[in-house]
Amino acid sequence: MRAPQAVDADAVLQGAYGGAAERAHGIVPPGVLGKRDRSNYSYDPAKARALLAEAGVTGLELTLRALNTSEPMLAATIIQANLQAIGIKVSVLPQDFGAYWEMGHEDKGDLWKDLELYINNWGVGADPFDGLQWFVSDMVGIWNWERWTDAEYDALHEQGMQTTDPEKRKNIYLRMQEIMENTGCYAWLLHEPEAFVHRDNLKLHLAPTGETQMVYFRPA
């Protein structure tokens, strides 16, 4: 079933984040080469219902897994209501941090066989490679939890690592996200804001991904 039109990302943006985030149209965040400014679909519950009818799907019941923190759980309840509106009954299942990040790994048990819906997030550094590398064919069963493969995506991934021209790289990563979207596996939600607060006498050290590296903190 491919029905990303069923999810109201703007409602998630407002309801779970109070508007304090940016609507996403792909995995590459603001300020990074290859950020998309639009999706090839929009929230359209009537279209989603039509797709379900075309597929002959009725009485569908699914489980939506999300981290048991406030924003993902609020987002999950909004998505639950979205899907209820098109005739899909959704049970929301909160996950603690450790269990969540093992869900799709084949070497961590058999839960990956039962994954249906989940809210996922990715930390992306200053290069689009950082977020898009996890969806190549070799990552199926590791971080490619959706388990799709695409020869063009894999080839573009290799090209992106070897290309130095910024415009060509941008087009490569835009196309890679379009391929992801065309699988029907993804309804893009938002780019979360990140804030770092520290004393003015402390020199902060961040990794390119935005993670704090406290061992390198120094007096300012």
* Residues 179, 38: Cα–Cα separation, whole Å: 14
* Residues 22, 213: Cα–Cα separation, whole Å: 26
Position 1 pLDDT exceeds 60? no
Q: Is residue 57 included in any domain, yes or no?
A: yes
**What does the pLDDT look like over 111-155, one tens digit per residue?**
999 999 999 988 787 899 999 999 999 999 999 999 999 999 999
Closest CA to 26 of 36, 13, 41, 11: 36
**What does the pLDDT look like over 188-204, one tens digit per residue?**
999 998 777 778 898 88
Closest CA to 83 of 109, 114, 35, 117: 117
DSSP assignment string, 2-50:
--GGG--HHHHHHHHHTT-SEE-SSSSPTTSTT--S--S----HHHHHH
Amino acid in the structure at residue 34: G
Sign of the torsion formed by the C-alpha atoms of 7, 13, 18 and 19: negative
Position 209 pLDDT exceeds 50? yes
pLDDT band at 205 (very low <50, low <70, confident <90, very high): confident
* Average pLDDT of the chain to the nearest whole number: 93
106 contacts 141 by C-beta, under 8 angstroms? yes
Question: Two tokens at 15?
Answer: 């309801």
Instruction: Report helix, strand or coil for 111.
Output: helix
Position 2 pLDDT exceeds 70? no
Q: Is residue 179 included in any domain, yes or no?
A: no
Q: Is residue 154 included in any domain, yes or no?
A: no
Closest CA to 178 of 35, 31, 50: 35
Q: Is residue 205 included in any domain, yes or no?
A: yes
pLDDT band at 11 (very low <50, low <70, confident <90, very high): very high
Q: Percentage of the chain with pLDDT > 70? A: 97
48 contacts 187 by C-beta, under 8 angstroms? no
**What does the pLDDT look like over 74-93, one tens digit per residue?**
999 999 999 999 999 999 99
Q: Domain containing 210: what range?
A: 4-123+185-219
Q: Is residue 60 included in any domain, yes or no?
A: yes
Cα–Cα distances in angstroms (integers) from residue 116 to residues 93, 141, 161, 171, in the given order = 11, 15, 32, 31
Indicate the number of domains in the chain: 1
pLDDT band at 206 (very low <50, low <70, confident <90, very high): confident
Q: Is residue 160 included in any domain, yes or no?
A: no
Helices (H), the chain: 9-17, 45-55, 70-84, 97-100, 129-132, 151-162, 166-182
Q: Is residue 66 included in any domain, yes or no?
A: yes
Q: What CATH number is associated with residue 72? A: 3.10.105.10
Q: Is residue 165 included in any domain, yes or no?
A: no
Position 22 pLDDT exceeds 80? yes
The pLDDT value recorded for residue 193 is 82
Average pLDDT over residues 168-185: 96
Q: Which helix (H) or strand (E) element contains residue 190? A: strand 190-191
Average pLDDT over residues 28-50: 94
Q: Percentage of the chain with pLDDT > 90? A: 81
**What are residue 64's phi and psi, to 5 degrees?**
-110, 120
Position 31 pLDDT exceeds 60? yes
